[in-house]
Protein backbone atom coordinates (compact mmCIF):
# COMPACT_ATOMS: atom_id res chain seq x y z
CA UNK A 1 0.00 0.00 0.00
CA UNK A 2 1.37 3.42 -0.96
CA UNK A 3 1.87 6.28 1.51
CA UNK A 4 -1.04 8.14 -0.09
CA UNK A 5 -3.36 5.13 0.30
CA UNK A 6 -2.27 4.77 3.92
CA UNK A 7 -3.03 8.42 4.63
CA UNK A 8 -6.44 8.17 2.98
CA UNK A 9 -7.31 5.08 5.02
CA UNK A 10 -6.17 6.78 8.21
CA UNK A 11 -8.26 9.86 7.39
CA UNK A 12 -11.39 7.78 6.85
CA UNK A 13 -10.76 5.77 10.01
CA UNK A 14 -10.25 8.96 11.99
CA UNK A 15 -13.42 10.54 10.62
CA UNK A 16 -15.52 7.61 11.78
CA UNK A 17 -13.59 6.69 14.93
CA UNK A 18 -15.74 6.61 18.00
CA UNK A 19 -19.12 6.94 16.28
CA UNK A 20 -20.22 3.58 17.66
CA UNK A 21 -18.07 3.52 20.76
CA UNK A 22 -20.81 2.13 22.96
CA UNK A 23 -20.99 -0.99 20.83
CA UNK A 24 -17.22 -1.45 20.58
CA UNK A 25 -15.13 -3.58 22.86
CA UNK A 26 -13.16 -1.44 25.29
CA UNK A 27 -9.82 -2.10 23.61
CA UNK A 28 -11.22 -1.37 20.16
CA UNK A 29 -12.85 1.87 21.30
CA UNK A 30 -9.61 3.03 22.86
CA UNK A 31 -7.69 2.15 19.70
CA UNK A 32 -10.08 4.11 17.46
CA UNK A 33 -9.82 7.11 19.76
CA UNK A 34 -6.03 7.02 19.62
CA UNK A 35 -6.11 6.87 15.80
CA UNK A 36 -8.44 9.86 15.63
CA UNK A 37 -6.52 11.96 18.13
CA UNK A 38 -3.20 11.30 16.37
CA UNK A 39 -4.55 12.03 12.91
CA UNK A 40 -6.50 15.17 13.87
CA UNK A 41 -3.58 16.72 15.72
CA UNK A 42 -1.18 16.09 12.83
CA UNK A 43 -3.69 17.22 10.20
CA UNK A 44 -4.47 20.58 11.82
CA UNK A 45 -0.79 21.21 12.47
CA UNK A 46 -0.07 20.69 8.77
CA UNK A 47 -2.91 22.83 7.39
CA UNK A 48 -2.48 25.69 9.90
CA UNK A 49 -0.83 28.10 7.38
CA UNK A 50 -3.83 28.02 5.00
CA UNK A 51 -6.59 27.28 7.50
CA UNK A 52 -8.09 30.78 7.82
CA UNK A 53 -8.04 31.46 4.09
CA UNK A 54 -9.72 28.17 3.26
CA UNK A 55 -12.32 28.62 6.01
CA UNK A 56 -13.43 31.90 4.48
CA UNK A 57 -13.22 30.61 0.92
CA UNK A 58 -15.05 27.34 1.45
CA UNK A 59 -17.79 28.86 3.64
CA UNK A 60 -18.18 31.91 1.36
CA UNK A 61 -17.15 33.97 4.40
CA UNK A 62 -20.36 33.02 6.23
CA UNK A 63 -18.33 31.37 9.00
CA UNK A 64 -17.80 34.79 10.59
CA UNK A 65 -21.56 35.25 10.92
CA UNK A 66 -21.85 31.82 12.55
CA UNK A 67 -19.18 32.67 15.11
CA UNK A 68 -20.83 35.99 15.92
CA UNK A 69 -24.10 34.19 16.61
CA UNK A 70 -22.36 31.69 18.87
CA UNK A 71 -20.89 34.49 20.97
CA UNK A 72 -24.30 36.18 21.08
CA UNK A 73 -25.73 33.22 23.02
CA UNK A 74 -22.73 32.66 25.33
CA UNK A 75 -24.12 34.98 28.02
CA UNK A 76 -20.75 36.59 28.78
CA UNK A 77 -22.52 39.82 29.72
CA UNK A 78 -23.35 38.30 33.12
CA UNK A 79 -19.64 38.23 33.97
CA UNK A 80 -17.83 40.58 31.58
CA UNK A 81 -14.64 40.38 33.67
CA UNK A 82 -14.65 36.61 33.91
CA UNK A 83 -12.50 33.81 32.54
CA UNK A 84 -13.79 32.11 29.39
CA UNK A 85 -12.56 28.97 27.68
CA UNK A 86 -12.28 28.62 23.92
CA UNK A 87 -11.70 24.87 23.48
CA UNK A 88 -10.31 23.63 20.16
CA UNK A 89 -9.48 27.29 19.64
CA UNK A 90 -7.57 26.77 16.40
CA UNK A 91 -6.45 30.11 14.99
CA UNK A 92 -8.31 32.05 17.69
CA UNK A 93 -11.28 33.33 15.67
CA UNK A 94 -13.78 32.66 18.45
CA UNK A 95 -11.41 34.04 21.08
CA UNK A 96 -10.99 37.26 19.12
CA UNK A 97 -14.73 37.56 18.51
CA UNK A 98 -15.36 37.45 22.26
CA UNK A 99 -12.39 39.52 23.38
CA UNK A 100 -13.29 42.39 21.03
CA UNK A 101 -16.94 42.62 22.07
CA UNK A 102 -17.83 46.04 23.47
CA UNK A 103 -17.94 45.79 27.25
CA UNK A 104 -15.88 42.62 27.53
CA UNK A 105 -13.10 43.07 30.08
CA UNK A 106 -12.28 39.47 30.94
CA UNK A 107 -9.77 36.88 29.73
CA UNK A 108 -10.17 34.22 27.07
CA UNK A 109 -8.20 31.02 27.55
CA UNK A 110 -7.65 29.60 24.06
CA UNK A 111 -6.88 25.87 24.28
CA UNK A 112 -5.90 23.60 21.40
CA UNK A 113 -3.70 20.51 21.18
CA UNK A 114 -2.27 21.62 17.80
CA UNK A 115 0.25 24.28 18.78
CA UNK A 116 0.76 25.28 15.14
CA UNK A 117 -2.86 26.45 14.94
CA UNK A 118 -2.49 28.65 18.02
CA UNK A 119 0.71 30.13 16.62
CA UNK A 120 -0.97 30.84 13.27
CA UNK A 121 -3.56 33.00 15.01
CA UNK A 122 -1.30 34.55 17.61
CA UNK A 123 -0.69 37.81 15.75
CA UNK A 124 -4.33 38.60 15.00
CA UNK A 125 -5.67 41.95 16.22
CA UNK A 126 -7.73 41.60 19.35
CA UNK A 127 -5.66 38.98 21.15
CA UNK A 128 -4.48 41.21 24.01
CA UNK A 129 -6.91 39.50 26.40
CA UNK A 130 -6.36 36.03 24.94
CA UNK A 131 -4.06 33.49 26.59
CA UNK A 132 -3.04 30.51 24.46
CA UNK A 133 -2.76 27.07 26.05
CA UNK A 134 -1.62 23.86 24.35
CA UNK A 135 -4.06 21.31 25.75
CA UNK A 136 -6.38 18.49 24.75
CA UNK A 137 -10.07 19.35 25.26
CA UNK A 138 -10.61 15.85 26.70
CA UNK A 139 -8.01 16.47 29.43
CA UNK A 140 -8.08 20.15 30.33
CA UNK A 141 -5.48 21.35 32.86
CA UNK A 142 -8.15 23.36 34.66
CA UNK A 143 -9.85 22.94 37.99
CA UNK A 144 -13.49 22.03 38.51
CA UNK A 145 -15.87 24.99 38.19
CA UNK A 146 -13.06 27.32 37.12
CA UNK A 147 -14.42 29.18 34.07
CA UNK A 148 -17.36 31.53 33.57
CA UNK A 149 -18.25 30.15 30.16
CA UNK A 150 -16.89 27.90 27.42
CA UNK A 151 -17.22 27.61 23.66
CA UNK A 152 -16.19 25.18 20.94
CA UNK A 153 -16.42 26.08 17.25
CA UNK A 154 -16.16 23.22 14.76
CA UNK A 155 -14.21 21.13 17.23
CA UNK A 156 -16.60 18.73 18.94
CA UNK A 157 -16.84 16.48 15.89
CA UNK A 158 -13.06 16.07 16.09
CA UNK A 159 -13.17 14.75 19.66
CA UNK A 160 -11.88 11.20 19.99
CA UNK A 161 -14.83 10.69 22.38
CA UNK A 162 -17.66 13.23 22.06
CA UNK A 163 -19.40 12.33 25.31
CA UNK A 164 -16.18 12.40 27.34
CA UNK A 165 -15.31 15.77 25.82
CA UNK A 166 -18.70 17.26 26.68
CA UNK A 167 -18.41 15.98 30.26
CA UNK A 168 -14.96 17.54 30.54
CA UNK A 169 -16.25 20.90 29.32
CA UNK A 170 -19.15 20.69 31.78
CA UNK A 171 -16.68 19.90 34.57
CA UNK A 172 -14.75 23.17 34.22
CA UNK A 173 -17.86 25.40 34.07
CA UNK A 174 -18.95 27.28 37.14
CA UNK A 175 -22.52 26.52 38.19
CA UNK A 176 -24.82 28.53 35.95
CA UNK A 177 -22.09 29.14 33.36
CA UNK A 178 -22.87 28.30 29.75
CA UNK A 179 -21.26 26.07 27.15
CA UNK A 180 -21.81 26.97 23.48
CA UNK A 181 -21.07 24.49 20.70
CA UNK A 182 -20.98 25.59 17.06
CA UNK A 183 -20.62 22.84 14.48
CA UNK A 184 -21.86 21.46 11.20
CA UNK A 185 -25.29 19.88 10.95
CA UNK A 186 -27.47 18.03 8.46
CA UNK A 187 -29.86 20.35 6.59
CA UNK A 188 -33.50 19.26 7.08
CA UNK A 189 -34.44 19.96 3.46
CA UNK A 190 -33.71 17.00 1.18
CA UNK A 191 -32.85 19.36 -1.68
CA UNK A 192 -30.47 21.48 0.39
CA UNK A 193 -28.97 18.33 1.89
CA UNK A 194 -28.30 16.93 -1.57
CA UNK A 195 -26.59 20.10 -2.81
CA UNK A 196 -24.66 20.34 0.45
CA UNK A 197 -23.40 16.76 0.17
CA UNK A 198 -22.28 17.23 -3.43
CA UNK A 199 -20.39 20.38 -2.46
CA UNK A 200 -18.91 18.87 0.70
CA UNK A 201 -17.88 15.55 -0.82
CA UNK A 202 -16.67 16.68 -4.25
CA UNK A 203 -15.84 20.39 -4.53
CA UNK A 204 -14.55 21.01 -1.00
CA UNK A 205 -11.95 18.20 -1.01
CA UNK A 206 -10.67 19.29 -4.42
CA UNK A 207 -10.30 22.98 -3.55
CA UNK A 208 -8.95 22.17 -0.10
CA UNK A 209 -6.27 19.88 -1.47
CA UNK A 210 -5.22 22.33 -4.21
CA UNK A 211 -4.88 25.28 -1.81
CA UNK A 212 -3.51 23.55 1.28
CA UNK A 213 -1.42 20.91 -0.49
CA UNK A 214 -2.67 18.37 2.04
CA UNK A 215 -3.80 15.11 0.47
CA UNK A 216 -6.35 13.98 3.03
CA UNK A 217 -7.42 16.84 5.36
CA UNK A 218 -10.30 17.99 3.21
CA UNK A 219 -11.43 14.44 2.68
CA UNK A 220 -11.47 13.83 6.42
CA UNK A 221 -13.56 16.95 7.12
CA UNK A 222 -16.68 16.00 5.12
CA UNK A 223 -16.43 12.42 6.41
CA UNK A 224 -16.29 13.70 9.98
CA UNK A 225 -19.46 15.72 9.35
CA UNK A 226 -21.21 12.67 7.90
CA UNK A 227 -20.55 10.76 11.13
CA UNK A 228 -21.41 13.67 13.44
CA UNK A 229 -24.67 13.49 15.45
CA UNK A 230 -27.58 15.53 14.04
CA UNK A 231 -28.60 18.60 16.02
CA UNK A 232 -31.33 16.94 18.14
CA UNK A 233 -29.03 14.08 19.12
CA UNK A 234 -26.18 16.42 20.01
CA UNK A 235 -28.59 18.40 22.20
CA UNK A 236 -29.53 15.18 23.99
CA UNK A 237 -25.87 14.39 24.57
CA UNK A 238 -25.29 17.85 26.05
CA UNK A 239 -28.06 17.08 28.52
CA UNK A 240 -26.52 13.67 29.27
CA UNK A 241 -23.25 15.45 30.06
CA UNK A 242 -25.06 17.19 32.91
CA UNK A 243 -25.99 20.49 31.28
CA UNK A 244 -29.34 22.15 31.93
CA UNK A 245 -31.44 24.46 29.77
CA UNK A 246 -30.10 22.84 26.62
CA UNK A 247 -31.21 24.33 23.32
CA UNK A 248 -30.04 24.80 19.77
CA UNK A 249 -30.60 26.94 16.69
CA UNK A 250 -29.87 25.95 13.11
CA UNK A 251 -28.16 28.45 10.83
CA UNK A 252 -27.92 28.98 7.06
CA UNK A 253 -30.56 26.48 5.93
CA UNK A 254 -29.43 24.05 8.61
CA UNK A 255 -25.85 23.47 7.44
CA UNK A 256 -24.61 24.53 10.90
CA UNK A 257 -26.14 24.66 14.36
CA UNK A 258 -25.30 26.47 17.57
CA UNK A 259 -26.04 24.55 20.78
CA UNK A 260 -25.99 25.76 24.37
CA UNK A 261 -26.44 24.46 27.88
CA UNK A 262 -25.56 25.55 31.41
CA UNK A 263 -23.87 23.72 34.21
CA UNK A 264 -26.48 22.78 36.77
CA UNK A 265 -25.78 23.66 40.42
CA UNK A 266 -25.89 20.02 41.47
CA UNK A 267 -22.83 19.15 39.37
CA UNK A 268 -20.64 20.35 42.19
CA UNK A 269 -19.49 23.32 44.19
CA UNK A 270 -18.45 26.38 42.25
CA UNK A 271 -17.49 30.02 42.33
Q: Averaged in consecutive runs of 10 residues, what is the pLDDT profile of the chain (271 residues)?
A: 48 59 46 84 94 90 96 98 98 98 98 97 95 97 98 96 97 97 93 90 90 88 87 97 97 96 70 41
Phi, psi of 20 (to 5 degrees): -125, 45
Nearest to 229 by CA among 162, 182, 155: 162
pLDDT of residue 31: 57
CA angle 142, 145, 151 (to 5 degrees): 75
Could you give the count of Cα atoms lying within 13 Å of 230 in the half-sphere of its Cβ? 6
First to last CA, the chain: 55
Taking each helix axis as running N to C, give the angle between helix 217-226 and helix 3-16, from 0 to 180 degrees, rounded to the nearest 10.
Answer: 30
pLDDT of residue 222: 84
Q: Return d(Cα 58, Cα 61) in angstroms, integer.
A: 8
Nearest to 258 by CA among 168, 164, 178, 185: 185
pLDDT of residue 219: 87
Q: Return d(Cα 86, Cα 133) in angstroms, integer.
A: 10
pLDDT of residue 24: 45
The helix, strand and coil proportions of the chain, stated in percent and rounded to the nearest 5, come to: 50, 20, 30
pLDDT of residue 20: 44
Nearest to 231 by CA among 247, 214, 245: 247
Q: Which fold has domain 3-267?
A: Rossmann fold (3.40.50)
pLDDT of residue 13: 62
Amino acid sequence: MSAVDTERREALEAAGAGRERAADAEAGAHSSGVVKRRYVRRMFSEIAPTYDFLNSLLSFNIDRRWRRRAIDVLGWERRPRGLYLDACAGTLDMSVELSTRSGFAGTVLAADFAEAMLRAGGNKPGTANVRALVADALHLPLGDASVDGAMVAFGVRNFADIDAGLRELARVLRPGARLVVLDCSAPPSAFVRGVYHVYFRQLLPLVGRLVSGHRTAYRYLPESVAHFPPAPELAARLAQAGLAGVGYETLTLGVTAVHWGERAPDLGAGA
